[in-house]
A and B are shown apart, each in its own frame.
Chain A
Amino acid sequence: MASFNDTVAAFNGLMAASGYVLRPTSTRVAFKSILFGTPIFALPDVHLCDGGAGDIFLNNNPDKPRKLQAVMQAMFDYMTSQPMSARALQLGDWFDIWRVTGQDPQHMTYGAVQNVEAYRGILDLDARIGLAHLIGNHDAGFLNSLPDRRASQPHLFRSGFWLGRSVYALHGHQTDIVPPIGSSFDEAAVALATTIAGFIPGVATFESYVDRLGFGPGLGRWLRDALLTAREDPGPQARPSDRSPPPPNVRSGQFVVRENVDHLATIAHQVGELPDSGGRSADVVIVGHSHTPSASWTDVTGKPVVVVDAGGWVYDQANLLIAAEDTIAVFDVTRA
Chain B
Amino acid sequence: MSRNFRWPGVVLTLAAVACCPGPIRQLSGQWVFASPGGIGVAAPPSTGTPVAVASARAPGAPPGCVPRAEIDRRFGKTCERHESEGGAQPSFELPSMTDEVPIGITPTPGEPIWYCDKHTVLRIVLQRCEATDTFRVSQIAVAIAKE
B-binding residues in A (CB < 8 A):
38, 76, 79-80, 83-89, 105-109, 111-112, 114-115, 120, 124, 127-130, 132, 135, 141-146, 148-164, 169, 219-221, 223-224, 271, 274, 276-278, 280
Q: Which residue of B lies closest to A154 (CB)?
A: B88
Complex partner residue of B97 from A105, A107, A152, A158, CB under 8 angstroms: A158
> Shortest CB–CB separation between residue B136 and chain A, in angstroms?
15
Contact status A79-B88, CB under 8 Å: no
Given known A38-B103, A86-B103, A224-B89, contact A157–B133 (CB-CB < 8 A): no
Contact A149 B88 (CB under 8 A): no
B123 to nearest A CB, angstroms? 10
Tell whether, in the assembled complex, residue B83 and residue A107 are in contact, meaning their CB atoms are under 8 Å apart. Answer: yes
Query: What secondary structure prevails in chain B residues at the interface with A?
Result: loop
In the complex, A162→B133 CA distance in Å? 28
Q: A89-B101, A130-B108, A271-B97 are in contact. Are A157 and B88 (CB under 8 A)?
A: yes
Q: Closest CB of chain A to B119's CB: distance in Å?
A: 18
Q: Which of B79, B87, B90 has the most A CB atoms < 10 Å from its CB?
A: B87
Residue of A nearest to B95 (CB): A158
- How far, in whole Å, are A162 and B77 apart by their CA atoms in the complex? 36
Minimum CB distance partner of A42 in chain B: B101
* 27 sampled A-B residue pairs with Cβ under 8 A: A38-B103, A79-B104, A105-B81, A106-B84, A108-B82, A108-B85, A112-B80, A128-B107, A128-B133, A129-B105, A130-B108, A135-B95, A141-B87, A143-B88, A145-B86, A149-B111, A153-B106, A153-B108, A154-B87, A158-B88, A158-B95, A162-B101, A163-B100, A163-B101, A220-B94, A278-B98, A280-B98
Q: List 10 tightest A-B contacts by C-beta distance, closest first.
A: A130-B106, A111-B80, A145-B84, A157-B88, A276-B98, A160-B97, A143-B89, A220-B94, A144-B87, A162-B100
Q: How many Å lie between the Cα of A86 and that of B101 in the bound state? A: 10
- Determine the distance from Cα of A89 to Cα of B100 in the docked complex, in whole angstroms: 11
Roughly how many angstroms separate A254 CA and B103 CA in the complex, as a whole number?
29
Contacting residue for B84 out of A85, A144, A220, A224, CB 8 A? A144
Q: A271 to B98, alpha carbons, bound, how many Å?
A: 7
Complex contact A148–B114 (CB within 8 A): yes
A29 to chain B, nearest CB (A): 20
Complex CA gap A274/B97 in Å reads 9
Q: Residue B117 at the A interface, CB < 8 A?
A: no
CB neighbours (8 Å) of A143 from chain B are 87-89, 95
Q: Which of B83, B100, B102 has the most CB of A within 10 A?
A: B100
Which residue on chain B has the smallest CB distance to residue A165?
B100
Known: A120-B69, A154-B88. 12 other contacts (CB 8 A): A109-B80, A130-B106, A130-B108, A148-B78, A150-B108, A152-B108, A153-B106, A163-B101, A169-B101, A223-B97, A224-B95, A277-B98
Q: When A151-B85, A160-B97, A224-B94 are in contact, do A124 and B133 touch as well, CB less than 8 Å?
A: yes
- Check B69–A124 contact: CB distance below 8 A: yes
Cross-chain contact A107 with B84 (CB below 8 angstroms): yes
A145–B87 CB distance below 8 A: yes
